[in-house]
Structure 1
Amino acid sequence: MAKTVIVTGSSSGIGRDIARAFVARGDNVVLNGRDGNKLADVAAGLGVPDRVVAVAGDIGALTTGTALVRAAVERFGGVDVLVNNAGIFGAKPFVDVTEQDLDSYLNGNLKGTYFTTQAVVRRLREQARGGTIVNIGTVLINHALAGLPASAALVSKGGVHALTTSLAAELAADGIRVNAVAPGIIRTPLFGDGDEDASGELALLNRIGEVSETTAAVLYLADATFTTGHIFPVDGGFLSGRAA
């Protein structure tokens, strides 16, 4: 039976591939991103207009999560899965981080995840048939890099990890499972012009990951009916050791 899946930040990178995978297996997908034109292109590229709806909006705004749920209900009759992928990441020395910088990460990563999840959970409780939430974190919460000063981004993503375990406990009685995927270094547009492959030596598998490998973990957690409160590293062994 087809599920209805909301994927935030699905106009590029990891989120776009997650949306592609859910559509490919026959599910309905609600796309989200800040750029409406880009999002429309992604929706058109998926080639199944009857199973995809795009909702543009900044995930840090309280109204966006409500709009996503409304679109899912009006178009597909409900919601089953939320993938909180939208977020931002960047490096900046701790003492140079401004209030604006910190607010940007907290709004885009933590607040967006928090209130979108809140909107979805309200609907899941109304439906009374359970559901699943998959957050996107990062393994850098557990193993930081001296050469990558990213305290502002990591504080917000650390909050996402804490939210995952807290909600897993709070929502278990509702049949709502909450897990997170914690990617290592993945080839995405976040790298810009950087040489991401040079970072592959940091992991036991001696390479960086591809978005499809993160997607595989999301699909697993979406279907793993006896798994909740789990932070699933997809990092090529980055947390476990070093290739050299």
Structure 2
Amino acid sequence: MKPTEKVAIVTGASQGIGAGIVRQLLAKGYRVVACSRKIATTGQPNLVEVAGDISQPEIASLVIQTAKERFGRVDTLINNAGAFLPKSFTEYTESEFTTLLQVNLGGFFHVSQRAIAEMLRRESGHVVNITSSLLAEQPLKGLPAALTAITKGGVNAVTRSLAIEYADKGIRVNAVAPGAIRTPMHASDTHTFLATLHPMGRIGEVQEIVDAVLYLEDAAFVTGEILHVDGGANAGRW
């Protein structure tokens, strides 16, 4: 299959990392289905936008169906949709618990299950999960976010589990675990503090996460990998 024939689904695609991934995939000749709660229609021939909450099963089904109807297949799924809520553990509410599970785990589960079912029919496919390095694997005293750690850590674990489950069926499953990245999620007045959380002394850029996703997309012998793009934070304390 030529790269120009591949069809990718990107969730959380309206801004930041998701929007960057969409742009780069289109530039490489992919046909893309982009999903987000709020997304502007651009009219590009190789891009279809689906507005909706990917944590809802019916939206996940719509995204997969859209890819099949418009482009005939699903080759790659980029699970980028997610929520981050820093707070002391005892201060989380039941509503916040439910929301984080729905977005970070439900948003992964529903669309991944449906996408992998399509990939199995072709015996080929790739799933990339955008998780977290600082919160899921390198907890920070000054940045409590236990519910984010529960959900993103769960996605890290299931990345390896699915990689093993489907390795002999032509489907790869990988993850990118970013540090703090310069996106609309982080207000500009927090960037100086966030830079101190990385040994390299700066925050990351969207393109650096996009580059990691594209590497995994092309790395045919890599599966079950959690690729840390975090300025060295995952290496240990400093």
Same-fold status (TM-score > 0.5): yes
Aligned counterpart, 2:190: 195
Residue 23 in structure 1 maps to residue 26 in structure 2 = yes
Residue 210 in structure 1 maps to residue 226 in structure 2 = no
Residue 9 in structure 1 maps to residue 12 in structure 2 = yes
What are the residue-to-residue correspondences of 1:72-83 with 2, within 5 Å? 72-83=67-78
**Is the 8 Å Cα contact of residues 203 and 241 (structure 1) preserved in structure 2?**
no
Partner Cα distance (2:119, 2:236) in 1: 39
**Is the 8 Å Cα contact of residues 20 and 207 (structure 2) preserved in structure 1?**
yes
Partner Cα distance (1:239, 1:121) in 2: 29
Aligned counterpart, 1:135: 129
SS at match of 1:149: coil
Partner Cα distance (1:195, 1:122) in 2: 41
Deviation per CA, 1:167-224, whole angstroms, max 9, x where unpaired? 0011112110000000001111111354213321332221110011000001111111
Amino acid at match of 1:209: G
Residue 96 in structure 1 maps to residue 99 in structure 2 = no
Deviation per CA, 1:128-159, whole angstroms, max 9, x where unpaired? 3x110000110121111111111111111111
Alignment match of 2:50 (pick from 52, 55, 59): 55
Q: CA RMSD in A?
A: 1.3
SS at match of 2:128: strand
Aligned counterpart, 2:233: 238
1:19 positional shift: 0.5
Partner Cα distance (1:184, 1:193) in 2: 16
Which structure features the higher share of helix residues? 1
Partner Cα distance (2:192, 2:127) in 1: 31
Aligned counterpart, 2:101: 106
Partner Cα distance (2:180, 2:188) in 1: 15
Partner Cα distance (2:104, 2:56) in 1: 11
1:92 positional shift: 1.1
TM-score, reference length from structure 1:
0.92
**Is the 8 Å Cα contact of residues 212 and 229 (structure 2) preserved in structure 1?**
yes
Amino acid at match of 1:18: I
Alignment match of 1:155 (pick from 150, 161, 165): 150
Which sections of structure 2, spanning at least 5 residues, go unmatched?
none
**Is the 8 Å Cα contact of residues 76 and 127 (structure 2) preserved in structure 1?**
yes
TM-score, reference length from structure 2:
0.94
Which sections of structure 1, spanning at least 5 residues, go unmatched?
none
**Is the 8 Å Cα contact of residues 62 and 115 (structure 1) preserved in structure 2?**
yes
The size of the alignment, in residue pairs, is 234
Residue 64 in structure 1 maps to residue 34 in structure 2 = no
Residue 86 in structure 1 maps to residue 81 in structure 2 = yes
Amino acid at match of 1:30: V
Partner Cα distance (2:104, 2:157) in 1: 13
